[in-house]
Amino acid sequence: MAEQRTIVGYDGPSGAYVIADGRTMPLSDPRSMTALVDSALLTGLGYSEKAAEYQKLARGRNKRVAAAK
Protein backbone atom coordinates (compact mmCIF):
# COMPACT_ATOMS: atom_id res chain seq x y z
CA MET A 1 0.00 0.00 0.00
CA ALA A 2 1.25 3.48 -0.87
CA GLU A 3 2.46 5.68 1.92
CA GLN A 4 0.42 8.85 2.50
CA ARG A 5 2.50 11.99 2.35
CA THR A 6 1.86 15.54 3.49
CA ILE A 7 2.45 18.48 1.16
CA VAL A 8 4.37 21.16 3.04
CA GLY A 9 2.65 24.54 2.87
CA TYR A 10 -0.72 23.16 1.67
CA ASP A 11 -3.68 24.23 3.76
CA GLY A 12 -6.51 23.13 1.47
CA PRO A 13 -9.15 20.42 1.75
CA SER A 14 -8.13 16.85 2.46
CA GLY A 15 -9.99 13.67 1.64
CA ALA A 16 -12.08 12.77 -1.39
CA TYR A 17 -13.61 15.75 -3.17
CA VAL A 18 -15.42 16.39 -6.43
CA ILE A 19 -15.24 19.65 -8.35
CA ALA A 20 -18.42 20.30 -10.31
CA ASP A 21 -19.76 23.57 -11.70
CA GLY A 22 -16.89 25.44 -10.04
CA ARG A 23 -17.73 24.12 -6.58
CA THR A 24 -15.56 21.84 -4.45
CA MET A 25 -17.77 19.34 -2.64
CA PRO A 26 -16.91 16.42 -0.36
CA LEU A 27 -17.63 13.00 -1.79
CA SER A 28 -20.24 12.50 0.94
CA ASP A 29 -22.41 15.27 -0.59
CA PRO A 30 -25.24 13.81 -2.72
CA ARG A 31 -24.51 16.42 -5.43
CA SER A 32 -21.00 14.96 -5.72
CA MET A 33 -22.34 11.50 -6.36
CA THR A 34 -24.75 12.87 -8.96
CA ALA A 35 -21.88 14.65 -10.73
CA LEU A 36 -19.80 11.45 -10.74
CA VAL A 37 -22.67 9.36 -12.12
CA ASP A 38 -23.41 11.96 -14.81
CA SER A 39 -19.76 11.97 -15.80
CA ALA A 40 -19.55 8.18 -15.95
CA LEU A 41 -22.73 7.88 -18.02
CA LEU A 42 -21.62 10.54 -20.48
CA THR A 43 -18.21 8.91 -20.82
CA GLY A 44 -19.86 5.54 -21.48
CA LEU A 45 -22.23 6.99 -24.08
CA GLY A 46 -19.42 8.71 -26.00
CA TYR A 47 -20.35 11.06 -28.85
CA SER A 48 -23.84 9.82 -29.54
CA GLU A 49 -27.34 11.21 -29.84
CA LYS A 50 -28.21 9.67 -26.46
CA ALA A 51 -25.19 11.38 -24.87
CA ALA A 52 -26.33 14.77 -26.14
CA GLU A 53 -29.84 14.09 -24.84
CA TYR A 54 -28.56 13.01 -21.41
CA GLN A 55 -26.20 15.99 -21.18
CA LYS A 56 -29.11 18.36 -21.88
CA LEU A 57 -31.19 16.71 -19.15
CA ALA A 58 -28.29 16.79 -16.66
CA ARG A 59 -27.58 20.48 -17.30
CA GLY A 60 -31.26 21.33 -16.82
CA ARG A 61 -31.36 19.42 -13.54
CA ASN A 62 -28.25 21.16 -12.19
CA LYS A 63 -29.41 24.73 -12.80
CA ARG A 64 -30.16 26.78 -9.73
CA VAL A 65 -33.72 28.05 -9.58
CA ALA A 66 -34.45 31.42 -8.00
CA ALA A 67 -37.38 31.58 -5.61
CA ALA A 68 -40.39 33.50 -6.89
CA LYS A 69 -41.32 36.62 -4.96
Tens-digit pLDDT profile for residues 39-68:
888 888 888 898 888 888 888 876 655 555
Average pLDDT over residues 28-34: 87
Task: Report the Cα 7 to chain-centroid distance in Å.
Answer: 24
**Which residue range(s) make up the domain with 21?**
17-62
* Residue type for position 11: D
Residue 28 lies in a domain: yes
Q: pLDDT band for position 32 (50/70/90)? A: confident
18 pLDDT higher than 80 = yes
Q: What is the pTM of this model?
A: 0.57
Three-state SS for the chain is: CCCCCCCCCCCCCCCCEEEECCEEEECCCHHHHHHHHHHHHHHHHCCCHHHHHHHHHHHHHHCCCCCCC
Residue 40 lies in a domain: yes
Residue 52 lies in a domain: yes
Residue 38 lies in a domain: yes
Largest CA distance in the chain: 55
Number of domains in the chain: 1
User: What pLDDT, on the 0 to 100 scale, is given for residue 51?
Assistant: 87
User: What pLDDT, on the 0 to 100 scale, is given for residue 62?
Assistant: 63
